[in-house]
Amino acid sequence: MVHYIARRLLYMVPTLLAISILTFLVIQAPPGDYLNTVVAKLEAEGQYVDRAQLEALRNRYGLDEPIWVQYWRWITGIIIHGDFGHSFVYSAPVADVLKERFGFTVLLSVTSMAFVWAVAIPVGMYSAVKRYSPADYTFTFIGFLGLAVPNFLIALVLMYISYSYFGQSVGALFSPEFAESSWNLGKILDLLSNLWIPIVIIGTAGTAGMMRIVRANLLDELHRPYVTTARAKGLTEGSLLMKYPARLAASPIVSTIGWLLPSLISGEIIVSVVLNLPTTGPVMLRALESQDMYLAGSFLLLLSVLTVVGTLISDVLLARLDPRIRYGKR
């Protein structure tokens, strides 16, 4: 396993280098740059833009240099100095912009994933054991409904119902009186009282999908010969279920770590915008809209790094969990 991990880590270097190049090319693909976006917006509002000043700013930020020069400055700054560049939109270092919202993003992502696991695993196992029962059909219908309805639509419907029928505004992680206050017990309790709404909305689709996966995998294991043999030897159904099939059916849960890590900083962008959540998702959306190349590029690169690392962790844990998985010799 040590050789496997070392080999995968070695492969990660050219992979991440290629990803960084593609990321920068994608960010630079739209015509123009951040200054062109700003100029177009100002001219649409009828304001005059000094072209000489515009060229001076372009020269100051290096936007007039060849793309490979801009890429080299960006990637060497990350590798050597840990400097992800300067955000044009927020007029601050990219690291500071992301760090400002990183805590809330991690909190929301971790709690949403815990909600998905806590609901989907027992429901999926129950549906598999009670296959074709009324409860199984009910959970299946709810699961398909959760997969079909977009999360942002659920957020909009919940906001409408909450405001129209209960007179409450659903959105943000804090009530207005706690939004700008310092941290205290009251603010923490207010956060917890508002946190469940985005958790349920973001976790709906994940819960529905995970529930179907757990059910399908467990059904496949329940009909294996070793289950029949264990049952014939007198092992109780509860012990049998938890000792063998449930362990092997847990593979999809472990495999989700590959996309859990990038979700820790991306969050649900559309849901975060709809609910006005202070996460990194809206920052990413604004960076893409305004062609803030260093902020958007660093964000995408960080997602890619976490995806590669998460995939490696998933593969190692899957091999430890399921003895049927073996590492290749090549």
Place of tokens 């449930």: 246
Q: Which residues, 6+ apart, have CB-to-CB distance to 242 below 8 Å? A: none
The more confident residue out of 262 and 284 is 284
Cα distance between residue 248 and residue 196, in whole Å:
31
Confidence label for 117 from pLDDT (cuts 50, 70 and 90): confident
Mean pLDDT estimate for the chain = 79
Asked if 257 and 310 touch (Cβ cutoff 8 Å), the reply is yes
Confidence label for 330 from pLDDT (cuts 50, 70 and 90): very low
Question: Per residue in 23-71, pLDDT tens?
Answer: 888 887 777 777 777 777 766 767 666 677 667 767 777 777 888 888 8
What domains are there in the chain, each with its CATH number? 94-321 (1.10.3720.10)
The mean pLDDT of 261-278, rounded to a whole number, is: 73
- For 87, the enclosing helix (H) or strand (E) is strand 86-87
Provide the whole-model pTM: 0.76
Question: Per residue in 175-200, pLDDT tens?
Answer: 777 777 788 888 888 888 778 888 88
Q: Which residues, 6+ apart, have CB-to-CB distance to 182 below 8 Å? A: none
